[in-house]
Structure 1
């Protein structure tokens, strides 16, 4: 059975995007950017909701061809393009860059993907991750918390029907006061 991780940058008050989908507060240091790139390099399958897919696919496919691109950005762009991805959307009609589109029930498909043999999967996007949380499908939560309060926007966590007990398995600090915490779910 595959392991499913939900990990994103978030504010201290728990948002992954500020009002208006503003992400300007979450610009990573070089060290944090390399951590995210290494994570993409070890992810066997990434699951995206529509909004996060649109954000990622509007930049990363050609990011390594932009003037002034750093070696780390070029590496991330290559890793992102090469990584197999599944986009869950009923409104998107086409996807590219090693990506498959699923328009049906996300929970059913994620359950099927988890049951397959294979390496780790990451899930991203608030609505998609919320459905997986409510279904009890997420094994790890990785919170990369930036020292900012944004006051509203898109929350990392959704309302749940029952408690999810977690066990802290990793902490790490990054420049600028950014803190990574990783939790595993407990039965």
Structure 2
């Protein structure tokens, strides 16, 4: 069975964006980007909420623009090579290949997807991930923790959900950014 991995880039105080919805502080430097490329290379399907999907569609065409470094082009190829499921009640048509739209999050359908998948799944976007956390579907949590405190915004991890975790991997980058991977116990 494939794992469902909740991955986010977060501030030290646990937010994916600040109170104004900005997240420029989260843009990974090359060293972090290459590390994350290797993580995403293992993902077969991404589950996205609408807002995160809107951000991620950048990767659908960036390879067509001249002048990007190899690690950016590498991620573009990785992203385009994965399947994508977008949960949205308003999006009419996908703006990327290998993408389907689901109107509502159905925990049983995601459970079935996990059981049938040959590669791991990633879930992104805190609103969507909250639903998966509440349904007990998350197997791992991977956080890229940036050395910044933003003081508020959108929480990366859900309030009101208790999970015991076991640290299974950690990595510190040269500029103080950290990566942590936890297995969700139980």
Normalising by structure 1, what TM-score?
0.94
Alpha-carbon offset, residue 124 of structure 1: 0.4
Aligned residue for 2:46? 46
- How many residue pairs end up in the alignment? 185
Checking the alignment, whether the CA contact within 8 Å between 1:13 and 1:149 is kept in structure 2 is: yes
Checking the alignment, whether the CA contact within 8 Å between 1:4 and 1:137 is kept in structure 2 is: yes
Aligned residue for 2:163? 164
Aligned residue for 1:175? 174
After TM superposition, the runs of 4+ consecutive aligned structure 1 residues lying more than 4 A away are: none
SS in 1 for 2:136: coil
Name the CA distance, whole Å, in 2 between partners of 1:51 and 1:147: 24
Cα root mean square deviation, aligned: 1.3
Aligned residue for 2:150? 150
Q: Give the direction of change, closer, same or farther, for the CA distance of 1:22–1:133 in structure 2 (3 Å limit).
A: same
Q: Deviations over 1:24-54 (max 9, x none)?
A: 1112121110111122221111111111000
Matches within 5 A, 1:1-187: 1-57=1-57, 59-95=58-94, 96-161=96-161, 163-187=162-186
SS in 2 for 1:20: coil
More helix by share: 1
Alpha-carbon offset, residue 61 of structure 1: 1.1
- Greater Cα shift, 32-41 or 3-12: 32-41
Q: List runs of 5+ in structure 2 lacking aligned partners.
A: none
Checking the alignment, whether the CA contact within 8 Å between 2:11 and 2:149 is kept in structure 1 is: yes
Checking the alignment, whether the CA contact within 8 Å between 1:40 and 1:83 is kept in structure 2 is: no
Q: Deviations over 1:103-148 (max 9, x none)?
A: 1333232122122242111100111001001111100001110010
